[in-house]
Amino acid sequence: MRDDAELTTRSWSPSETEFPNDARRDMAGGDENPPRREFKARGSFVERCDGCRLPVLNCLCPFRVTATSAAHVWLLTHPYEHNKPTNTGRLIADVLPQTQTFTWYRTAPEARLLELLADRRYVPYVVFPDDQPDYQHRVVDERAVVVAKQDGFIPVFILIDGTWRQARRIFRKSPYLENLPVLPLHTDRLTRYRLRKPASASHLCTAEVAAELLRNTGDVSAANVLDDYFDAFNESYAASRFYHKIEKPNAAMQRLLERRAFGAAFS
């Protein structure tokens, strides 16, 4: 849900946005009005890398490493999240090239998403807390993902990428999600996200949630790469806020550099 997103360990969350005109059309049915002019926030005039969107001072691109996983991730992203540089959903797409990203519109779901949901190769799960009684009959655990793999299907984690309020609305107002199994994340892991103060240390950001799900369902190598990439992002962005140039890579950065240098040897 928001990265300023938080998918909590019972749930989660995830990204500054000037909307294209077609993104504005949906807000008649949305929960807030779109900005009437370009959004300007602290840091909006910082020189950013076109590739990673981080300040050029600590560009993340040298640490970008791709990985493969049996499970896929589809991001259902609120329009406000796409251009926020602090959003971590895009880190998942950087690491896992098979990741699909869809913009959520209440009245007009993307046709590509509907086509993929109908594709029998995939078994999609909506990642969401199991804290309400009305959809308990849809709740499954991570064993269902393992079984789907064993049966030759491609399990898919559908992560709702927006604020917690937005995520609740997306979950409740998207008819095409209504019959999908709901997969909650239960973990004792605490967030390492440093770019906002969470309501609880148990509230994980979107990339952390994806890494935990991958790890818990057998895609350990991909989870480790995503974790390291998230840590590199976290460190780079936090340092850039104070105009501090990172001179020595941290442990996660060093592992990513080694993976880039030696490739499959670290898979």
pLDDT tens digits, 218-242: 999 999 999 999 999 999 999 998 8
> Tens of pLDDT along 72-119?
999 999 998 887 888 899 999 999 999 999 999 877 899 999 999 999
- Residue 223: count other Cβ atoms within 10 Å of its Cβ: 21
> Which pLDDT does position 197 carry in this prediction?
60
Task: Look at the chain and report how many structural domains it folds into.
Answer: 1
> Which pLDDT does position 196 carry in this prediction?
65
* 207 lies in some domain: yes
Residue with tokens 């996200």: 193
Does the pLDDT of residue 207 top 70, yes or no? yes
Least confident of 22-26, 70-74, 130-134: 22-26
Domain that holds residue 128: 7-19+47-266
Question: Rounded to the nearest 10 degrees, how much is the dihedral formed by the CA atoms of 229, 182, 5, 222?
Answer: 0
Looking at the DSSP bridge assignments, the partners of residue 77 are: 103, 161
Higher pLDDT, 86 or 191: 86
Does the pLDDT of residue 175 top 90, yes or no? yes
**pLDDT, averaged across the chain:** 83
For β-strands 203-204 and 7-8, DSSP reports them as: antiparallel
* 41 lies in some domain: no
To the nearest whole percent, how much of the chain has pLDDT over 90? 64
* 32 lies in some domain: no
> Tens of pLDDT along 30-62?
444 444 444 454 555 679 999 998 999 999 999
Residue with tokens 């509230």: 203
> Which has the closest alpha carbon to 76: 166, 184, 189, 155?
166
Q: What does the alpha-carbon distance between residue 98 and residue 96 come to, in Å, rounded to a whole number?
A: 6
Residue with tokens 């990428």: 161
At 18 the three-state DSSP class reads coil
* 63 lies in some domain: yes
> Which pLDDT does position 84 carry in this prediction?
84
Q: What does the alpha-carbon distance between residue 189 and residue 191 come to, in Å, rounded to a whole number?
A: 7
* 28 lies in some domain: no
> Which pLDDT does position 202 carry in this prediction?
59
What phi, psi does 182 have (nearest 5°)?
-105, 125
Contacts (Cβ under 8 Å, ≥6 apart) of 78: 103, 104, 161, 162, 163, 166, 167, 170
* 229 lies in some domain: yes
* 117 lies in some domain: yes
pTM equals 0.82
* 35 lies in some domain: no
Q: What does the alpha-carbon distance between residue 212 and residue 187 come to, in Å, rounded to a whole number?
A: 8
Least confident of 29-43, 83-97, 130-144, 151-165: 29-43
Looking at the DSSP bridge assignments, the partners of residue 123 are: 155
> Which pLDDT does position 195 carry in this prediction?
65
Higher pLDDT, 212 or 15: 212
- Residue 197: count other Cβ atoms within 10 Å of its Cβ: 8
